Amino acid sequence: MTQHLLCRLLLLVWVCVPHVAKLNAQTPGEAQSVADSYNYLLGTQAIGGKYQFTEQDPLVEAAKEIRAMGATTMKFDLRPKPTQYPHIHSLVELVSQEPAHREVLDMPFAYYQMWAESFAGTSWKKGFSNKDAEAEYREIYDQTAYLLKTYTGSGKTFYLGHWEGDNLLRGDISEKADAMMTPEKVQGMISWLNTRQRAVDDAKRETKHEKVQVWHYTEINHPTISLKKDRPSLVNQVLPFVPVDFVSYSAYDVTNEPKAENIKTVLDYIESKLTPKPEITGKRVFIGEYGYTVSHNGMPHRTPQEQNDLSLITIQAAVEWGCPFILYWELYNNEVEAGGQHRGYWMIDDKGVKQPIHETHRRYYAWAREFVSEAYRRTGQAPSEKDFRQAVADYFKAAAPKKP
C-alpha cells in the first residue's frame, strides 16, 4: 500500500511539475499581452495640434507620445483634407492608403475613437435625401467592413462617430439658437445617424470577422440646457430616436466648474435617453472631451496644477459613474488666441514641457498596468471590469487634492 501511494505521488509530481514550469514561463509574456489590451478608461486625443517636436507626421508623433504614456486608447479624426490628401476620396482610402493613418491603426492600441466624416459630401441639415443616405451608408459600411477584415483576430475595438453634434444641430446654447432646430433639421440628423448605425450593423453582420469590434456613436455637447430647462438639443430631440451603440459627451458644460454630483446627474440624464442595446453590457455614455485652459484672452487663466486638480474631479466622478472612456482634450493644444497665445488645452505645452496632467496619466497607467498584470499572474485572468473600476476609484480618491 505504501509503495503504491508513493508511486502515485511520484506520478503526480511528474505530471504537474512540467505544467507548473510551463505556466510560470509563459506568464510574463501573457501578462504583458493582457495589460496591452486592457481598457484603462482614461485617454487623450490628437486632433488639430498647433505644434510638434519631430520630423515625423504629426499624427504619428502624437500617437507615439500617447502610447509612451502607457495608454491603450487613441482618439483622432478621419476627415476630408483635400489640400493635405488630394488623392484620397473615401474613408477606406484614408485608412488604407495614407501612410500615417495606416501606421497609427497598426500600432498596438486596443481602442480607437474616430471622427469618421464621409468624403461623399452628404448633408442632412435641410433634410437627408435618398441619394445622400445611400452615399453615407456605403462609405460607413465600407469603412466598417475594412476595419473588420483588416484587423480580424487583433482584439482591437473601433468607435466611429462625429464631432460635437449640438454644434452641428443648433450652433450654440443661446435661446435664440433654439429656433435653429427646425423639424426638418432634427429629422435630417435622425435619418443621418440611423443610416450610419444601419451601415455599421449591416457590415458587422455580413463581414466575416473574429476578435475585432466596431461600434457607432453620436457626440453631444449641450445636454444641460435640456436637463435644466427642457430646451431642445440633441439629447432630447434626436437621441431617443436613434439606436446608436454609444454616446460621446463633450462635457465642458458640466466640467468647466466640475462637481461630482452634477457630472453624474448629467450622465444619468443622457443614459436615460438611449434606446436599449441588450448586446452591450455596462454604461454606454463616455466622456469624449473634457479639459481646462491655462490662458484666456491672453491672460493667465489657471495654473498647470489647477488644470490637473480640476481634471481629477472629473475623472473621479466619471470613473465612479461607469464611463467606459474618459478622454482628456488633448495631447497638444489646438486653440491659439488672436495675439498668438496658446490657450493651453494640453498635456505637453508648446515648449515640450510635460504638464502635471500628463504626469497624472503616466503614473496612473503604470499603476493600472501593474494592477492588471499582477491579477493575471495571480489568477490567470484579467481583473473584471467591476473590480478594476473600484480599484481605479480608490486610486484617484487617494490622489485627489487635499482640502485645506
In terms of Cα–Cα distance, which of 195, 175, 325 is closest to 249?
A: 325
Q: What gap in Å lies between CA 164 and CA 287, rounded to an integer?
A: 12
Tens-digit pLDDT profile for residues 233-249: 999 999 999 999 999 99
Residues 13-68 have pLDDT tens digits of: 444 444 433 344 345 688 889 999 999 999 999 999 999 999 999 999 999 999 99
pLDDT of res. 25: 37
Strand 111-116 to strand 73-78: parallel, antiparallel, or no bridges (unpaired)?
parallel
In tens, the pLDDT along 194-208 reads 999 999 999 999 999
DSSP 9-69: HHHHHHHHHHHHHHHHHHHHHHHHHHHHHS--SEEEB-SS-S--SSSS-HHHHHHHHHHHH
Q: Would you put residue 258 in left (φ > 0), alpha (ψ -120 to 50) or beta?
A: beta
Q: How far is CA 286 from CA 41, 43, 47, 205, in A?
A: 9, 11, 18, 25
Mean pLDDT computed over 237-265: 97
Q: 225: alpha, beta or left, given left = phi > 0 and alpha = psi -120 to 50?
A: alpha
Grid coordinates representing 388 are 478594476
Q: What stretches of 210-281 show up as alpha helix (H) in DSSP?
A: 224-229, 234-237, 252-255, 260-272
Q: Rounded to the nearest 5 degrees, what angle is found at the Cα of 383, between the Cα atoms of 379 and 44?
A: 140
pTM: 0.92
Alpha-carbon distance of 124 to 242, in angstroms, equals 15
Helix, strand, or coil (residue 6) = helix
CA pair distance 77, 365, nearest whole angstrom: 24
